[in-house]
Every structure is written in structure tokens, then in C-alpha cells.
Chain A
Amino acid sequence: MADLSTSIAGIRLENPLMLASGILDENGYTMLDVMKNGAAAVVTKSIGNEERDGYSSPIIVEYGDSLINAVGLSNPGIDNFAEEIRIAKQAGKPVIGSVFASDADGFTSLGLKMQEYGCDAVELNLSCPHVKGFGLEVGSDPDLVEDIVNEIKSKLKIPVFAKLSPNVSNILDIAKAAEKADAYVLINTVKAMKIDIRARSPVLTNVYGGLSGPAIKPVGIRYVYEVKKETGKEIIGVGGIASFEDAVEYIMAGASAVQIGTALYTKGKGIFRDIISQMNTFMDDEGFGRISDMVGVAIR
């Protein structure tokens, strides 16, 4: 039996599979259920300083096994989120608080609240592609990213992860700006849209959304590989993981852990246990004793 445990920024994970932000992570009981189903940790839905409804439906388009979403950062506001963290923490596993704001002060106050609520780390959403003034609009400005990451790192005791966007001209510039973060999370969704030809109309209320799922996996693999190779920093890989092969591919590209989101739509919560068991067999067959033996092994 291979040892599937891993660690990221000093946080021990019983296996390398985490729940990605934005999927089944608004309600504490759901996060608890996802961890009971085998996820080693969860990342919460991105939470802001104010309650926000997001966009009206349609907020999602099915595109084969992939999805295009424009939920619009709906969230109850940080002051209404303590109870969800408390419930999720009953699993006894790490809970990572995802936060979004437009400047360093906004991110820092959110991070301090997540720390107070008992989160094990904070993930900065520097990459949501479909809301004006947040996410990608913040995360594509290297000076602003540097300011945010340096400020929040100077105030928080828990690790800080920077979730970066593939929707920029050079991700290495942004990664360098965020170099004080304890780890990078790569990648967020790819900006996309869907037109229904019979309705002669974009489907999403917001018109533009973010593509996730198998359609973006090769893009994610490339960014993880490139950023790991150029920076050497710890990376959490995310984007289109739906099988143990996908997870191993991300790990060999340089990820120390991975996040799964869209695959819950096609495979349900059982996907965590399935991948854990199949990854175990793979590692035994291929002679890998532990996850760290595979991290970045493909990098040339």
C-alpha cells in the first residue's frame, strides 16, 4: 500500500484530493458530507465582505462533461459564514477559506476573519473571470497582486494560497508578483460563453462565464508544469480532474495536491474514494511509495 498522504504549506492532507472552491461548498453540512466521502480537505466558496446574490439564473451551461458558469460570486458575506466553517470543521480535516475583494485591505480583513473562524489556510481568489472589479480584474494586475499578497501575508498566521488565472498574457509575471504566497493554486476557469442557436441568444444571464472541467485540463497541466519549473514553489493543481490518471498527471507536472470540482457533476461525491483507491493501485504498480515521489517527476 502506497502512502497517499501529502502536505501543502505545512498542512498535512490524508490524500492529495481537495474539493475545489465554488462547488458544493456554500453550506457547512455539504462540505462535511464531501469530506465524509473521502476529500482530504475542502476549499469554501469564495466569500466577500458583503452579502451578494450573484447573477440570476441561468448561471450554468452544460458542455459535455465540462461546464460554463457565471454564478457571480454569490455569497452570504463573511459575517454570515462562521457557522458554515464551524459545521465543516466537524470533519476534523483542513478547511481552506476562499476569499475575494478588490484591494489589499479587503482581502486582509477577510483573511483575518477566516483565521478567526478556524480555517487552516486562506485561498485568494485572484481569478474569477466573470465579475467586474473582482477576481481576474484584480488578479491580472501584477502590482495589485503583489500588494494584496504582501499585506495579507504580513497579517495572517495561517498559510495563504494564491489562485491564479489562465486568462492573462503571462502567468509567470503574476506568479512572481504573488511569490510571498505559501502556494499557488492553478488554474481558475477559462473565460468562455455559450450561444443557443435556436434561442439566438447567449445562455448565461451574464453572457460571459468560466469554462471548467475536462475541456481545460491540458491548459491546467501546462500552467502547473510551467510555473513549477520556473518557480519551484508548491502548487495545488486544479482544472478538469475527473480520474486518477488526471490527478497523477497534475502531480507529475508539479502539483503537491489537487482540487476536484466539476467532476462532481458527472461522477458525484463518490469520485474521491474512487480516485484514492485507483491511485493507490497505480502507485503500487508503478513503484511509487509516496506522493512526493511523483511530484514534478515529468518536468524536463
Chain B
Amino acid sequence: MNRITVERVKDEAKNVRTLFFRWDQKISAGQFVMVWLPGLGEIPMSLSYIGSLKGITVKAYGKVSQAMIELQPGNEFFIRGPYGNGFQVESGRKLLIGGGSGIASLLPIADSETDAIISAKTRDEIIFADRFPDSRLFLATDDGSAGFHGFPHDLLDRMDLSVYRKIYVCGPEQMLYRVMLKLRDRHVNAEFSLERTMKCGIGICDSCSVGGLQVCKQGPVFSIEQLKDNPEFGIYRTTYSGKRISLNMK
């Protein structure tokens, strides 16, 4: 377990904050860590900055993440990892598709040849739009309050995807699934970063599994080839107890 001190914080949106810190550890884009707040609990987090100054972008949704967005410079937390396989980044023009806070784990692969679709429920929840020039940025909101009115997979219908060497996608599984179906039909090279209920982070507890693959160990980044015929991706997941539930996608 590594003890980490918060160096500075940046508020990205309501209930979304990036914590910056120093950690002498090589991390590839798309890998994740388990963050522990003693007495409160432990959650998986991807990194939004992976250079010498590292960052994790936290959206408050539970007890641990709520406590994390309240951390101030000088406060401490604990980390184990990094875990999992990151993105296989290819040179050339790329498109990032980030749903909600999913754009955070895609940020480390953004370069001058990168276009981005950032989607959110509403305008106020869009984060990291300032990281991309207007000419390379496509916004989409469920309620139409900013950019395209609708979901990323619908926006893809209006775009020429043949210009991209590879597409990198992160966000809620329902969104990933819809995007995967679109990209599969158009034979596009793509990778997807999945998020599922995760407990151990090291490939043994079976909580995050999707069709026999462990998101924490064989993922969290999977190629479109690994997902397109997966019997559970976008269809079923298991809850914290291990109960199988339908994602109601079909």
C-alpha cells in the first residue's frame, strides 16, 4: 500500500474534482489503481494524468468518492496498483469517445492528432472540454443543452470514421455497447475501457467478470474483437453479492 499526499486539487464540475499528486510509478494510459481511505473503504479509480504529476478525477457517487472530493492539499490517501492492461495506443489520427466521467481515463492518450466526443446528461456535467480545440471537439448531451442532442452512437452516424486509425471509448456500459454495435458494423479498429463492480482488483474475486474475462486483470481495456461476441457485455452484469442482473439493452 502506498501513502499518497494530495498536492493540489482542481474542480472540474459540480461533484467532480481532480486530485493531483506525486507518485514515482510508471503507469500506462487506461490502467487503474485501488484507492483506500482507512475507515471508509476502497474503490477502483483510473488516472487522468500519468506523467510525473499524476491525477485522478473523482466523481462523487458513494461514501468513498464523496470523501475523496473533499480532500484538500496536504491530505493523504492510500493506493495499491497499478492494475490491468491499458490502451494499445497507435500513432495517427484518433478519436476519443468519453461518456460522463469516462473522458478522464482517455485524457492521457490525447495528442495533437486527437478528436474527442465528450458526452454527458447535461451541459453542467461535461468535463475536460477545455482540453481540446473547438475544431477537434464534438459535444453531445442527452438533454440537448450543449452540442449534439442525443447519444454518442447517434452522433457517430453523422461522422466520417474512416479518417481515424483507432477509436478509444470509455463510459457507462450501455453507451459502450451502443457504440460497439455501430463500430462493429463499420469495421472500425477500437478499444473500450470497461467499468464493473470491482472488489479485489487482481483477478480472483470474479465480481467484475464479463463473459469469462476479468475486467480488472484481462482489462479494463478490451479490443472490439474481444467484446463483439461476448455473451455478457452490454447484456448482463453481477451485483456486489454476485447476483446476475440484466442491463436491459435488448
The total number of A-B Cβ pairs within 8 Å is 112
Determine if A74 and B240 form an interchain contact, defined as CB atoms under 8 angstroms apart.
yes
Stretch at the interface among B94-102, B133-141, B209-217: B209-217
User: Does B202 belong to the interface (CB within 8 Å)?
Assistant: yes
B158 within 8 A of A: no
Inter-chain contacts of B38 with A (CB < 8 A):
196, 199, 201
Give the contact stretch, choosing among B19-27, B39-47, B221-229.
B39-47
CB distance from B157 to the nearest CB of A (A): 32
A29-B211 contact, Cβ under 8 Å, with A83-B244, A196-B78: yes
Contact A54 B42 (CB under 8 A): no
Contact of A58 among B41, B206, B212 (CB under 8 A): B41
Least distance between A189 CB and chain B CB atoms (Å): 13
Q: Are B207 and A26 in contact (CB under 8 A)?
A: yes
A-side interface mostly: loop
- Is the CB–CB distance between B204 and A199 below 8 Å? no
Number of interface residues of A (CB under 8 A): 42
**Which A residues from 34 to 87 make CB contacts under 8 A with B?**
36, 45, 51-54, 56-60, 62, 67, 69, 71, 74-77, 80, 83-84
CB of A60 within 8 A of CB of B243, answer: no
Q: When the two chains form their complex, are residues B241 and A52 in contact, meaning their CB atoms are under 8 A apart?
A: yes
CB within 8 Å for A27 and B238 given contacts A56-B41, A58-B41, A199-B1: yes
**Is A32 an interface position by the 8 A CB rule?**
yes
Chain B: minimal CB distance from A128 (Å): 15
Q: Does A205 sit at the interface, judged by CB under 8 A?
A: yes
Q: CB-CB < 8 A to B205: which residues of A?
A: 23-24, 26, 59-60, 71
Q: Is the CB of B241 within 8 A of A203?
A: no
Q: Is A219 an interface residue (CB 8 A)?
A: no
A113 → B minimal CB distance (Å): 16
* Chain A 242-267 interface 0/1 with B at a Cβ cutoff of 8 Å (1 = within): 00000000000000000001101100
B243 near A80: Cβ-Cβ < 8 Å: yes
A residues contacting B by CB (< 8 A) are 23-27, 29-30, 32-33, 36, 45, 51-54, 56-60, 62, 67, 69, 71, 74-77, 80, 83-84, 196, 198-199, 201, 203, 205, 261-262, 264-265, 268
List residues of chain B with CB under 8 Å of any chain A CB: 1, 3, 34, 36, 38-39, 41-43, 78, 80, 199-207, 209, 211-214, 217, 231-232, 238-244
- Listed A/B pairs (28) with beta-carbon separation below 8 Å: A23-B205, A24-B205, A24-B206, A26-B207, A29-B209, A30-B212, A33-B213, A53-B240, A57-B199, A58-B34, A59-B199, A59-B200, A59-B205, A60-B204, A71-B199, A74-B242, A76-B239, A76-B241, A76-B243, A198-B78, A199-B78, A201-B38, A201-B39, A203-B36, A264-B203, A264-B204, A265-B204, A268-B203
